[in-house]
């Protein structure tokens, strides 16, 4: 199973990762904000992750790391 790691305090909530995820397992965590004042993106269903790495590739701030 892939591992998806977010440096949540660097996330600016741009939602690019959410739009490119083919399995639609990412969302913004609207229940909290990070130290920059943004709702961070999170994986809410890791079991469905294909490990494609599209989210990490599109992230402009290198917030996401995908380990297969």
For position 46, which CATH number holds?
A: 3.30.70.20
- In angstroms, rounded to a whole number, what is the distance separating the alpha carbons of residues 28 and 22? 16
Q: What is the pLDDT of residues 10-63, one digit of tens each?
A: 999 999 999 999 999 999 999 999 999 999 999 999 999 999 999 999 999 999
Domain membership of residue 31 as a residue range: 3-67
Number of domains in the chain: 1
Residue 64: how many other CB atoms lie within 10 Å = 22
User: Is pTM, for the whole model, over 0.85?
Assistant: yes
pLDDT at 3: 95
């Amino acid at each position: 199973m892939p591992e998806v790691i977010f440096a949540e305090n660097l996330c600016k909530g741009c939602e690019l990762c959410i739009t490119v995820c083919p399995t639609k397992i990412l969302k913004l965590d609207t229940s909290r904000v990070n130290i920059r004042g943004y709702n961070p993106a999170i994986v809410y269903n890791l079991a469905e992750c294909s490990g494609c790495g599209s989210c990490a590739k599109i992230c402009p701030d290198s917030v996401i790391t995908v380990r297969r």
